[in-house]
Structure 1
Amino acid sequence: MSTNGSASRGRLAGKNAIITGAAGGIGLETTILFLREGASVLMSDISEPALEKAVLIAREKAPHMTGKVETMKCDVSKEADVKAVVDVLDAWGGVDIMFNNAGIMHGDDADAIDTPEKIWDLTHNINVKGVWFGSKHAVLSLRKHKKTNASIINTASVVALVGSATPQLAYTASKGAVMAMTRELAIVHAREGFRFNALCPAPLNTPLLQDWLGDDQEKRHRREIHFPTGRFGEAIELAQAVLFLASDEASFVNGTDFVVDGGMTRAYVTPEGPPTKPPQNLAR
């Protein structure tokens, strides 16, 4: 895997990728890695100003890219927006990689009693329908361009596997739906050569989580104590996993719940002591 700004070794050479939620966090870090590895990337996000900043960062961090990078605003809860993004890649030769990464975890998301219906609907429209629309139009593009080797990666969560100590019912239910949907898509489309895998991150040090935690130190502590490492993961650590799933190295990886959580879901108790720090040689 690339660990610096050097020229791409071409693990994704010649492939075309769409990344939703690409303006920050996992989406931006994945964009950078994909560009370094030879892919052309269409970055999409609901915020045009954020995309404009993100694409500048991506170009700076991948100065030797052999593919191209463009941006397009997209509200993944609207099928017309998703279709428009996928249609852009017709001129590129069609989709090879679809990373359905856009998602929301709203601050008003709570338990079954206190979660407002509008928050439930908003969360599921983005987190579930967005993945459905992305998967649907990726498959249609793959068939149109007669592709037989493709990777669709959907961002789920470890809360689809284990319960959350802090109530976030709409988010948890939505990510469970993403995981179940991904498994079925993997089976349905396997003979066509389309691989579907669900990425299952633990809580990461991303703006999405930090905004949700805010200044609530009790809520933060309830999260951190579940990590054997004593720290949240970093977005780049998930991007490396996405790169593997997108590459031909994962050609026999299909229908998985690809867990990247620092051991959180395997821990009965966590060790005491100071937290570890992320490795210093991670690509940025």
Structure 2
Amino acid sequence: MNSPKIRYLVFFQYFGTKYSGVMETLTDQPMLGVQNYLERAAQNLRPVTPIKFYVSSRTDTGVHALCNSAHLDVQRGVGKPPFPASVIVAALNYHLKAEPIRILSAYRVSDNFHARFSALSRTYIYRLVTGCSHHSQIPVFERDLCWAPKGDHLNVPAMQEAADSLLGTHDFSTFRSVSSEKPFKSPIKTLAQADIRPSSGFMSHHYEYRGLQFWELEFKSRSFLYRQVRRMVGALVAVGQGRLAPYHIKELLEMRDPLAYPLNTMAPAAGLFLKSVEYDDADVDTEGNAAE
């Protein structure tokens, strides 16, 4: 008889520019998903049955993750004990090799744990830079990692006032993509955080003399609609540029119509990062089975 099937929760990060998104794609596509590479690396564990990653949070082409998560089941052959979490981390990272994907940690979890449905919340960060008159002026180490909206200044207090109107429970239909794959999904979401703050990255002092300023917009909710964060960011930037007033954001919410969203306003993918996925401590045994 084969060894019992063991379920693991893994946290992982990736630089999303070269991938079609996090979800797997057909292998004949020019760009593959992060999941394709994760599952390819996992087969080197020589499981009894192929390993599938159940990803907690979808991200689009060009979107990055400081920390995403997924669960996977690993069953070994006769007489072989379960892998320690540390082995899962080390083996996957070894076989990912040069891919800009890294496993951060792993935990053994119960058989009824689900990375997507057990998540309590997800937090996204969007990075902006002001002071660039053209995207070609974005520093080389920041390319594909932030958005430089037109203009050299944003009215951040007005943006924060507008962001505050997004907090709480609302019908976010206006901020749902028109091309949403799941239009039947409830548009009712509860936004617990919508903050705008200066970003103080380790390279910031190299850019100050050029008049560049980096900003982070942070959003937290149990779940988000398809492209909701990028559409919220784009609308808030329009407020910062003076193209919209803060009260327009509340009006857009009340319209509950994705077609009411201003054309050519959605923020590009490159500045978006999935920051974290949070779980109940009771669901994840952190005593001795985690590996960093």
Tell me which interval the TM-score lies in, with the shorter structure as reference length. Answer: under 0.3
Q: Whose RCO is larger (CA < 8 A, sep 6+)?
A: 2
In the superposition, the TM-score normalised over structure 1's length comes to 0.24
Q: Higher Cα Rg: structure 1 or 2?
A: 2
More strand by share: 2
More helix by share: 1
In the superposition, the TM-score normalised over structure 2's length comes to 0.24
